[in-house]
C-alpha cells in the first residue's frame, strides 16, 4: 500500500511527532505541502493530512494545499491534528477539513486528534498549556489509529 502523509508542524513539533508515529506504522513518507504536488497523490492508496491548530483551524498552508487540488476521484484519506485545547463541539475543524477532502474526491476513513504543547499568545503568559503533550499515551493512541487504517 502506498501511503503519503502531508503535514505542517511549525511551532513545537507536536504534529510532526504524531506524523512520524503514523508513518512508522503505515510505512509512509511524511512531506510538507510544498514538497508534493496534487497529481503525486493520485498514485497513493492512502493520504494523511495533518497540522497543528492555528486560530481554531488547520494551518493555512495545509488548507491552501487542499483548496488548490483539482476535484477528481481519489483514494482514501485521513485527517490528524494536535492542539493545545480539545476540539470544541461548536467548531469541529477536523470535520471541516474532512468535508473539503470529500469535495476533492477523497474517501475520508478516519480522523485523529490529541493535545499538544501550546504557547500561543495568551497561553505563553503562563508558560504554555498541555505541557509534555503529545505524551506516551497519545503516541500509543496514534499507533492504534494507524494500525486501524491498515498499517
Cβ atoms within 10 Å, residue 146: 26
- Identify the weakest region by mean pLDDT among 4-8, 12-16, 68-72: 12-16
Please, which pLDDT band fits residue 134 given cuts at 50, 70 and 90?
confident
Cβ atoms within 10 Å, residue 3: 24
CATH of the domain at 19: 3.40.50.360
Q: Does 135 have pLDDT greater than 90?
A: no
What value, to the nearest 5°, has the Cα angle with vertex 134 and ends 35 and 38?
20
| Percentage of the chain exceeding pLDDT 70 | 83
pTM of the predicted model as reported, rounded to 2 decimal places: 0.89
The mean pLDDT of 66-72, rounded to a whole number, is 91
CA dist., res. 137 & res. 49, Å (int): 21
Number of structural domains, the chain?
1
* Full residue range of the structural domain in which residue 7 is found: 3-148
Cβ atoms within 10 Å, residue 115: 19
Q: Does 119 have pLDDT greater than 60?
A: no
Mean pLDDT over all residues of the chain? 86
The mean pLDDT of 42-53, rounded to a whole number, is 92
The mean pLDDT of 47-59, rounded to a whole number, is 87
Amino acid at each position: 500500500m502506498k501511503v503519503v502523509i502531508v503535514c505542517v508542524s511549525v511551532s513545537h513539533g507536536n504534529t510532526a511527532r504524531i506524523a512520524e508515529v503514523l508513518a512508522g506504522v503505515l510505512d509512509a513518507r511524511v512531506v510538507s505541502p510544498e514538497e508534493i504536488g496534487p497529481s503525486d497523490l493520485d498514485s497513493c492508496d492512502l493520504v494523511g493530512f495533518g497540522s497543528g491548530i492555528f486560530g481554531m483551524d488547520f494551518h493555512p498552508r495545509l488548507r491552501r494545499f487542499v483548496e488548490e487540488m483539482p476535484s477528481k476521484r481519489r483514494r482514501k484519506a485521513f485527517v490528524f491534528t494536535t492542539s493545545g485545547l480539545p476540539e470544541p463541539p461548536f467548531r469541529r475543524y477536523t470535520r471541516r477539513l474532512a468535508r473539503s477532502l470529500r469535495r476533492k474526491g477523497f474517501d475520508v476513513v478516519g480522523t485523529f486528534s490529541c493535545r499538544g504543547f501550546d504557547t500561543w499568545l495568551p497561553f505563553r503568559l503562563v508558560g504554555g498549556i498541555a505541557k509534555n503533550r503529545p505524551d506516551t499515551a497519545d503516541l500509543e493512541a496514534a499507533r492504534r489509529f494507524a494500525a486501524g487504517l491498515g498499517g
